[in-house]
Structure 1
Amino acid sequence: MIYHVFICFVYFFPLLGAIISDSWLGKYRTIFYVSIVYALGQLILSASATPPFGLPARELSMVGLLLIALGTGGIKPCVSAFGGDQFILPQQERYLAMFFSLFYFSINTGSLISTLLTPVLRDTKCFEDECFSLAFLVPAILMILSIVIFVSGKRMYKVVQPMGNLIVKVSKCICHAISNKVKGRERKCDHWLDHADDTYENKLIEDIKAALRVLKLFIPLPIFWALYDQQGSQWTFQATRMDGRIGGFVLLPDQLQAVNPLLIIIFIPIFETCIYPIFEKIRMINTPLKKLVAGGFLASVAFIVAGLVELELEKTYPKLPSEGFAQIRIFNTMNCPVTLTMTQENKEDKIIEIKSLSMWADLEVEAHGSVTLPYTANFTTCNNKGYTNLINEVPGNIIAAEATASSWVITPLGLQYHYEDYVDKPDKGKPSVRALIYLAPEVNGNSSLTFVDSSNATVLSITVNSSVFAHSKPKQFDKPDTYSVFLDEYLLKKDVPFRLGGAYTVVGSYLPSLQEITGEVITVTQPNSLHMAYMLPQYIIITMAEVMFSITGLQFAFTQAPESMKSLLQAGWLLSVAFGNLIVVIVKGSRPFERQVYEIFLYAGLMAVVIAIFAVMTIFYKYVEMPEEEVSDRAIPLEEQNGNVNPTYKEDEK
């Protein structure tokens, strides 16, 4: 929810950036000033993740995210339009199209590097935990460097000056037209905006008409972004439940997002040099609006594929406690089998033999509110192995609450200890482990259960209390791997695989009187079995959709905008992304379905219906033809900057 609210702000603030740019500062100065805000937000975000500072982490991180949203909101509507300003239209229109592709190519190159590198930086250790502060600090430093590079090229830029408080003028013009239309019903006009011609000049009215024609087409488009931006949320969560092993390398769930920018880098030249020329020759998908329609349908197909993957993934999900039932697990920490005779109302007694260092489970115990199951534990076999002070027949009750998973632990003291267990797959996808180790009273002090990798480095340590048996809370490994398990210096198990999505419990006991240290690793929740490669088709399709939809949309918004409103329409295009993420927030907040797969198919259906409506709307749109010489009066000539020859200028040969 926080992720999509943040993305919503990121794409809402471009409207503010467009107002500032077109009304007061101009594109160059707006980019410069808000980039400073952006870098400041990243520095604050890094500071919020630095424990020694003693700062309120959550509140400060929200401030950092807000400043980043403000900063990127100012940059987004200006940077692409600022790049477009460097070209003379229509003579250099083909270079403009190439610029937008290269612009998008550059963005995705940075995204590829970031999505691969940032999780690695985060997984390094600092302050005895994951190093989020470093993961945020590196892009902050790079952002500061980018500001220096941007400013150093100022003398080479063509800078178009702002053209007045456009948003206010447009708003007043529209309100005036509506007011006149309501008051003067007898007057007939070709367009309702013409009612404002008594106060406002004709050029402004015509520019607003052109802008509204484009903005009207943007109305159905937010649904595309509702699908697209779930790569960073729903699709990443989907990946946490999948296996990322590739040979000796393990791909982390959030690193899978690198597939999108990598494919973008591959697809852009393919589409520009091969696919689009073929479409041109066969006169199919050969206009910007047709490309937008095709991209929208591809997004729907991508989510249908994602839904099919989710159906397969559901087969690997653990069985969770549900209404009307309880789950009971019994762990035996002793190196001997224990027999339980369990009494159930209106049923025959159930005799359960729990093997040494093992787990027994019943995942569907009928329970309404709670259920009490009397039992008798037989320790005869354990006494025969030298255990002392054990009563052979020990009575007791197992109590389980409805819709919960309760775990009970057998120790030489009997069946006294229990806790509410968490049996779902770990949230981050990384393997988790819990310790159930009984230490005899003669063991002085605490012991440590440690997990050692192949280089003999301790990657995880769990303290085991000797005074009273106490189970540990589950801990997560930094990465899935094969580890050896030690109780102090004693090797319990060697080379145990701990995989993505698995939940494990180490059971055992340390009994000096018997000169016995035993242990076993039990898999409570099976690790992920479906490979992340199954997600590649949906990533390939959504990336093809993005190439046809996003790049084309940016170019369409720029070329169809009047000269005075280019940044405004760029902001309008980006605003559709904000509303798309707002759709996700609303759907997630309402929780319409228990099963995730239904929500995925809902998005696929909505996308198909909305893009069909959009396709019909495009039939009635007439493209704006570029005049032969449309250069702003306030634009500095491309071939001259501040009275000097612009070193970057070269007359277009064609």
Structure 2
Amino acid sequence: MDTLNKPRKMTSENEIEDHPNHPDEQINVEKQEEKLKYPKSVFFIVTNEFCERFCFYGMRTVLALYLSDMLKYGESTAVIIYHVFIFFVYFSPVLGAIVSDSWLGKYRTIFYVSIIYAIGQLLLSASAAPTFGLPARELSIVALLLIALGTGGIKPCVSAFGGDQFILPQQERQLALFFSLFYFSINTGSLISTLLTPVIRDTECFGDECFSLAFLIPAILMIVSIVIFFSGKRMYKIVQPTGNLIVSVSKCICHAISNKIKSKGRKCDHWLDHADDTYEKKLIEDIKSALRVLKLFIPLPIFWALYDQQGSQWTFQATRMDGQIGNFVLLPDQLQAVNPLLIIIFIPIFETCIYPIFDKLHIINTPLKKIVVGGFLASVAFIAAGLVELELEKTYPILPSEGYGQIRIFNTMNCSVNLDMEQNIEIKPLSMWVDLEIETHNSRKLPFEADFTMCNNKGYTNLTDKVSGIIEVSEAKAMSWVITPEGLTYHYEDYVDKPNKTKPIVRSLIYLASEVNDNPRYLRFVKSGETVLSIMINSTFAPSDLKQFEKPNKYDVYLDDYLMKKEVPFKLGGVYTVVGSFVPALKEDKISIEIITVTQPNLLHMAYMLPQYIIITMAEVMFNITGLQFAFTQAPISMKALLQAGWLLSVAFGNLIVVIIEGSHPFNRQVYEIFLFAGLMAVIIVIFAVMTIFYKYVEMPEEEINEGAISLEEKKGNVNPIYTEDEK
């Protein structure tokens, strides 16, 4: 080993006291300073981490919407796939650490899994491009698995590999600067991608949302980072693998259990003592200490079950809300950027203000108390989310269901029509009549008689006074029928749910008499003199296809060059139908149209979600950061990697809880599920609080903690304490 790796004591500005094991060693101060310059190799490592975090957070931000909008999975199925993916993301670091420390080493592990990562990202981008004709669902699942393996393989290695580039303890300050840069690159990459990727996704390509480009740009960044990372190989200090602690601990535990079963007559103070025939007593004692801490981790996965729903259930909740802020529209997946922004704000506030106040008041002044409060705050955050959901339910459309059918009747004429159909109905001019719950099985025929006598003096010629016929109602369908000067004959299956991309959609039901014009006319929606959307109206009447606005706004509505309506609002989540008729007997200035709201737009603003984001971020600061620090300070020096692995596994199993609950479909209403998670969090954190009463803190000397930090970076390949805030 290089003698510079041995600890030295600085005796003066110009003198260095040699290590006692090397009394004859003479080192020139200038030469040492030259050797101890900041290692350039770490910039290659930081670049790799920036790109990897950009890829991961950017892809994860739009993943739930990709599964539902592009792959057409139901919302519940999309949530399950999302959380299965996150489970593998936080389970695979354990495997990555074992592979790195036991076989490949950190450099080769990072390099190989980065290639796997880039391939997965490219496959995901290809699956989102319909022109390739690939099986999108199957390819996406394979891609997500590769991405999970890639990010999981990088996670336990890259920070430690950066630490390997420094000579300790001489470069401790430089090491601290590295981890500051490292943490900055993580937050920068994740924040930029969380804000930018939804914007890319929201653009149009291949005639739909541009998920392909949203996945491709991070993939290109990842490929560039691999090239950069490989280019720095000649500068890296590469430490050969020496074996993985998790494997050693697992073998020791299995050996102890095996011996306990075989030697039933032997009495031991602790079941792990049965392994003392093969393993050193210090290792056994360290495992005992680690298990005492790991036992406290058992209730903690429920926190991550709540926390990680920011990217799934909370994103879907945001799609049903209004994100318009003036002329700017906040996208539902962009709302996830609130969390990292608040983290940056809250960490210094808690450290410099809130925690000191708690200490003075002698409340919430221990790590375990902070974790308990963080858990309760997570429960409160979900109560806030549940209250928002209760308000949202008031705005949800009533959808056709089993045993019932819906009918809507649109009157395109500028006169009232009386309809006798089991009851007498007057349908006002240019309006809609609706019945949302008509009992039916398969289909039901409703005879009607329509009275058009009130239209005789409105310019509609050749109109029969009374017309009879049958309206058919179909089970679990929303059927729309249209009254025109030709009678009540046109019908179609309508779309009455919220638009899955939240942008407002519109349909034309404008009747043009065939003798009016041989050429088609256009219904135009104009903003600032520019036509942003147009619908062609043929002389042969037919309901138009639904057209989507690029953004919600107020638009002037034109029929050709005739201004029909001025500044009509078309809002997020709204479904609209434009009705009217154009016949020869009507003069141009007498033509009128109306915009009918079929499905109410999103009325509740996304700002109502801010309380739940603020509270869950406060919970994260108190729970995650404190929990990592607690695990680090309470673990024996040799067991810190094991505690880090246990923390990551608690995240993985938290996502598994979401998969189990979502897969069982316990409730028909989403709000009940939200309150279930809030209740589970509250109950389990009470159990955890009781467990903490019996825990005795381990007091560790400060120098031992520092020594452990160095040992962790040099030997175990896990996170330095300076870096505890990240990897969630």
Which residue number corresponds to residue 378 of structure 2?
299
For the residues of structure 1 that align with 2:554 and 2:186, how far apart are their CA atoms? 37
Which residue number corresponds to residue 603 of structure 1?
677
Partner SS for 1:501: coil
Which residue number corresponds to residue 460 of structure 2?
387
Shift in CA distance, 106/210, structure 1 to aligned 2, threshold 3 Å: farther
For the residues of structure 1 that align with 2:331 and 2:362, how far apart are their CA atoms? 43
Partner SS for 1:437: strand
Shift in CA distance, 104/636, structure 1 to aligned 2, threshold 3 Å: closer
For the residues of structure 1 that align with 2:270 and 2:682, how far apart are their CA atoms? 32
Which residue number corresponds to residue 602 of structure 2?
528
Partner SS for 1:621: coil
> In the alignment, is residue 198 of structure 1 matched against residue 277 of structure 2?
yes
Equivalent of 1:500, from 572, 595, 607?
572
Q: Which string of whole-angstrom CA distances, capped at 9 and with x for unpartnered residues, describes residues 331-380 of structure 1?
A: 012233222122x2xxxxx3322222211123344546654332111122
For the residues of structure 2 that align with 1:328 and 1:631, how far apart are their CA atoms? 69
Shift in CA distance, 286/562, structure 1 to aligned 2, threshold 3 Å: same
Report the residue type matching 1:428 in the other structure. K
Could you tell me how far 1:80 is from its partner in structure 2?
5.0
For the residues of structure 2 that align with 1:453 and 1:476, how far apart are their CA atoms? 15
Could you tell me how far 1:529 is from its partner in structure 2?
1.8
For the residues of structure 2 that align with 1:377 and 1:631, how far apart are their CA atoms? 84
> In the alignment, is residue 222 of structure 1 matched against residue 222 of structure 2?
no
Which residue number corresponds to residue 647 of structure 1?
none
Shift in CA distance, 101/323, structure 1 to aligned 2, threshold 3 Å: farther
Which residue number corresponds to residue 107 of structure 1?
186
> In the alignment, is residue 35 of structure 1 matched against residue 114 of structure 2?
yes
Partner SS for 2:397: coil
For the residues of structure 2 that align with 1:34 and 1:553, how far apart are their CA atoms? 28
Q: Which string of whole-angstrom CA distances, capped at 9 and with x for unpartnered residues, describes residues 283-309 of structure 1?
A: 433333332222111100111111122
Partner SS for 1:587: helix
> In the alignment, is residue 581 of structure 1 matched against residue 655 of structure 2?
yes
Instruction: Identify the range of structure 1 (621-630 vs 571-580) with the bigger mean alpha-carbon deviation.
Output: 621-630
Partner SS for 1:77: coil
Q: Which string of whole-angstrom CA distances, capped at 9 and with x for unpartnered residues, describes residues 417-446 of structure 1?
A: 223333232233222222223333345465
Shift in CA distance, 478/280, structure 1 to aligned 2, threshold 3 Å: same
Which residue number corresponds to residue 76 of structure 1?
155
Instruction: Identify the range of structure 1 (128-137 vs 139-148) with the bigger mean alpha-carbon deviation.
Output: 139-148
Q: Compare relative contact order (CA 8 Å, sep 6+) and give the higher one, 1 or 2.
A: 1
Instruction: Identify the range of structure 1 (593-602 vs 91-100) with the bigger mean alpha-carbon deviation.
Output: 91-100
For the residues of structure 2 that align with 1:23 and 1:304, how far apart are their CA atoms? 45
Could you tell me how far 1:528 is from its partner in structure 2?
1.8
For the residues of structure 2 that align with 1:150 and 1:560, how far apart are their CA atoms? 35
For the residues of structure 2 that align with 1:530 and 1:440, how far apart are their CA atoms? 41
Partner SS for 2:354: helix
Contact (CA 8 Å) 1:506, 1:521: kept in 2 or not? yes
For the residues of structure 2 that align with 1:211 and 1:96, how far apart are their CA atoms? 27
Shift in CA distance, 597/61, structure 1 to aligned 2, threshold 3 Å: same
> In the alignment, is residue 511 of structure 1 matched against residue 511 of structure 2?
no
For the residues of structure 1 that align with 2:519 and 2:135, how far apart are their CA atoms? 36
Contact (CA 8 Å) 1:158, 1:636: kept in 2 or not? no
Report the residue type matching 2:690 in the other structure. V
Equivalent of 2:491, from 397, 412, 418?
418
Q: Which string of whole-angstrom CA distances, capped at 9 and with x for unpartnered residues, describes residues 61-95 of structure 1?
A: 33322221111111223345556778999999999
Which residue number corresponds to residue 644 of structure 1?
none
Could you tell me how far 1:4 is from its partner in structure 2?
1.9
For the residues of structure 1 that align with 2:169 and 2:290, how far apart are their CA atoms? 19
Q: How does 1:177-576 map to 2 (within 5 A)?
A: 177-322=256-401, 325-342=404-421, 344=422, 350-367=423-440, 370-442=443-515, 443-444=517-518, 448-454=522-528, 456-458=530-532, 460-464=533-537, 466-467=539-540, 469-511=541-583, 514=586, 518-563=592-637, 565-576=639-650
Contact (CA 8 Å) 2:375, 2:685: kept in 1 or not? yes
Partner SS for 1:242: coil
Contact (CA 8 Å) 2:504, 2:549: kept in 1 or not? yes
Contact (CA 8 Å) 2:163, 2:713: kept in 1 or not? no
Contact (CA 8 Å) 1:224, 1:299: kept in 2 or not? yes
Report the residue type matching 2:509 in the other structure. L
Shift in CA distance, 338/255, structure 1 to aligned 2, threshold 3 Å: same
Could you tell me how far 1:452 is from its partner in structure 2?
3.4
For the residues of structure 2 that align with 1:102 and 1:611, how far apart are their CA atoms? 35
Could you tell me how far 1:531 is from its partner in structure 2?
1.9
Contact (CA 8 Å) 1:108, 1:262: kept in 2 or not? no
TM-score by length of 1: 0.86
Report the residue type matching 1:228 in the other structure. Y
Shift in CA distance, 73/633, structure 1 to aligned 2, threshold 3 Å: closer
Contact (CA 8 Å) 1:425, 1:502: kept in 2 or not? yes
Q: Which string of whole-angstrom CA distances, capped at 9 and with x for unpartnered residues, describes residues 528-578 of structure 1?
A: 222222111111000001111222333344444555554443233222222
For the residues of structure 2 that align with 1:446 and 1:421, how far apart are their CA atoms? 24
Identity value in percent: 79
For the residues of structure 2 that align with 1:152 and 1:268, how far apart are their CA atoms? 36
Partner SS for 1:429: coil
Instruction: Identify the range of structure 1 (32-41 vs 555-564) with the bigger mean alpha-carbon deviation.
Output: 555-564
Shift in CA distance, 158/311, structure 1 to aligned 2, threshold 3 Å: farther
Q: Which string of whole-angstrom CA distances, capped at 9 and with x for unpartnered residues, describes residues 580-632 of structure 1?
A: 12211222222111121111111000001111112222333344536734587
For the residues of structure 1 that align with 2:490 and 2:131, how far apart are their CA atoms? 38
Contact (CA 8 Å) 1:336, 1:357: kept in 2 or not? yes
Instruction: Identify the range of structure 1 (13-22 vs 551-560) with the bigger mean alpha-carbon deviation.
Output: 551-560
Which residue number corresponds to residue 249 of structure 2?
170
Report the residue type matching 1:507 in the other structure. V
Contact (CA 8 Å) 1:97, 1:555: kept in 2 or not? no
Which residues of structure 1 form unaligned runs of 5+?
A: 345-349, 638-654
For the residues of structure 2 that align with 1:269 and 1:156, how far apart are their CA atoms? 36
For the residues of structure 1 that align with 2:286 and 2:675, how far apart are their CA atoms? 40
Partner SS for 1:389: coil
Instruction: Identify the range of structure 1 (376-385 vs 540-549) with the bigger mean alpha-carbon deviation.
Output: 376-385
Partner SS for 1:390: coil
Contact (CA 8 Å) 2:406, 2:473: kept in 1 or not? yes
Shift in CA distance, 631/502, structure 1 to aligned 2, threshold 3 Å: closer
Shift in CA distance, 464/80, structure 1 to aligned 2, threshold 3 Å: farther
For the residues of structure 1 that align with 2:361 and 2:174, how far apart are their CA atoms? 23
Shift in CA distance, 165/104, structure 1 to aligned 2, threshold 3 Å: closer
Q: Which string of whole-angstrom CA distances, capped at 9 and with x for unpartnered residues, describes residues 132-186 of structure 1?
A: 2222222223334545666677799876643315444433322221121112121
Partner SS for 1:13: helix
Partner SS for 1:584: helix
Could you tell me how far 1:482 is from its partner in structure 2?
1.9
Partner SS for 2:433: strand
> In the alignment, is residue 140 of structure 1 matched against residue 206 of structure 2?
no
Report the residue type matching 1:418 in the other structure. H
| Aligned positions, number | 629
For the residues of structure 2 that align with 1:90 and 1:622, how far apart are their CA atoms? 31
Contact (CA 8 Å) 1:329, 1:359: kept in 2 or not? yes
Shift in CA distance, 229/152, structure 1 to aligned 2, threshold 3 Å: same
Instruction: Identify the range of structure 1 (426-435 vs 380-389) with the bigger mean alpha-carbon deviation.
Output: 380-389
Partner SS for 1:382: helix
Instruction: Identify the range of structure 1 (330-339 vs 156-165) with the bigger mean alpha-carbon deviation.
Output: 156-165
For the residues of structure 1 that align with 2:299 and 2:161, how far apart are their CA atoms? 27
For the residues of structure 2 that align with 1:226 and 1:462, how far apart are their CA atoms? 46
Contact (CA 8 Å) 1:18, 1:78: kept in 2 or not? yes
For the residues of structure 2 that align with 1:490 and 1:12, how far apart are their CA atoms? 63
